[in-house]
Structure 1
């Protein structure tokens, strides 16, 4: 389980996170939504220690990070070992094949044998519908395919949680649908996920819980069904603003 307590993050001219306390249960999909600049990505990056808040604590199973104190490399590695991060842009190594991109981490960090890493990579490629792409290079794939490879690369490290920061924002609608179908399957298989997205259809379909952020604060944290079927005035205003209906 991931638990955040009293997380506070300030930039020079922006208070990104304001005393945020949240819990992310295992085997559930939590979707974080809200206006641009509300703190969603900052929160996700703090969980993966890519951002360091000034205050607060992160509890990840038996690990505790006190953000008011220096974070050792050992603790940083231990936290990141438990989570896999997928970014807006897929960040694949262009000089490595798809198979090499997926197996690099397991072989170097997890010390897996080449045979074991390759076998797991092939299983993951089949899982995301790309079983015959192992020997291709990233520039030979579409954006949607590359993002699915990024998900494979994260899953290859056997993370407890998958963290996804706007994973489809750079894709056209058809390619976006390819990636979202993969995430839907992972959610149905109870992969623990925290997803930042603007796609409300995906959020309503897949999320167990919704966290709605505004101006650095979580103003809703609860079941997806309640969020969409019985929205507060502010949530309804937000949903209306992003709908074409």
Structure 2
């Protein structure tokens, strides 16, 4: 399980995370929602140690990261070995084929053989509906296809958790649906995921838990069904503001 305890992060005059404490259970999908600039992406990046909060702890299985101390490369590697990050703009290596993009991490970091890493890559490509793209380069794929390859690359490292930061924000609706179908399938397989998104239909469909964030603080942390069933106050206002009709 991932646990954040009293995490605090500032960017000059902006207080991005305010004494945040949260648990992220295994085998569940947690969706983080809230208005833009509320601290959602900062929270996700702190879990993957791409941001370094000033205070607080990140506890991940037997790891205990004290943010008040310098982060060593050893600690960063240990955390990132357990958590795969998927960004908004996929970040594939343009000079590598799809197959090479997926197998690079397992071969270099996990020291897998070429045969084993390629077999796993082919299995993942089939999982996301792109079995015949292994020899292509990223610029030969659509945005939705590239994002699905990015998910394959994360899964190839066998992470305990996948962290997704607005994974469909750069895509048009048709391509967004392609990616969300993959995430829905992963959720059904109980792959632990923490997803930052503005897509409420997706959140309703796959989330076990909802964390509602605003101004660096957690306003709701609980079951998804309860969140959507009878919203009130600020949550109701937020949902009405992003829903037509």
Q: TM-score category by the smaller chain?
A: over 0.9
SS at match of 2:198: coil
Q: Which residue of 2 aligns with 1:182?
A: 182
Tell me, in whole angstroms, the C-alpha distance in 1 between the residues paired with 2:140 and 2:70.
Answer: 42
Q: Which residue of 2 aligns with 1:133?
A: 133
Q: Which residue of 2 aligns with 1:102?
A: 102
Tell me, in whole angstroms, the C-alpha distance in 2 between the residues paired with 1:151 and 1:47.
Answer: 18
CA shift at 1:232, angstroms? 2.2
Q: Which residue of 1 aligns with 2:78?
A: 78
Deviations 1:92-135 (A, max 9, x none): 01110000000000000000000000000000000000000000
Provide runs of 4+ in structure 1 moved above 3 Å: none
Q: Which residue of 2 aligns with 1:163?
A: 163
Q: Which residue of 2 aligns with 1:43?
A: 43
Tell me, in whole angstroms, the C-alpha distance in 2 between the residues paired with 1:216 and 1:138.
Answer: 36
Deviations 1:53-111 (A, max 9, x none): 00000000000100001111111100110000000001101110000000000000000
Q: Which residue of 1 aligns with 2:234?
A: 234
Deviates more, 1:231-240 or 1:166-175: 231-240
Tell me, in whole angstroms, the C-alpha distance in 1 between the residues paired with 2:39 and 2:178.
Answer: 27
Q: Which residue of 1 aligns with 2:57?
A: 57
Match runs of 1:186-201 below 5 Å = 186-201=186-201
Q: Does 1:223 align with 2:223?
A: yes
- How large is the RMSD of aligned CA atoms in angstroms? 0.4
Query: TM-score, normalising length from structure 1?
Result: 0.99
Tell me, in whole angstroms, the C-alpha distance in 2 between the residues paired with 1:203 and 1:79.
Answer: 26
Q: Which residue of 1 aligns with 2:13?
A: 13
Tell me, in whole angstroms, the C-alpha distance in 1 between the residues paired with 2:243 and 2:226.
Answer: 18
Q: Does 1:214 align with 2:214?
A: yes
Q: Which runs of 5+ in 1 are unaligned?
A: none
Q: Does 1:28 align with 2:60?
A: no
Deviates more, 1:68-77 or 1:79-88: 68-77
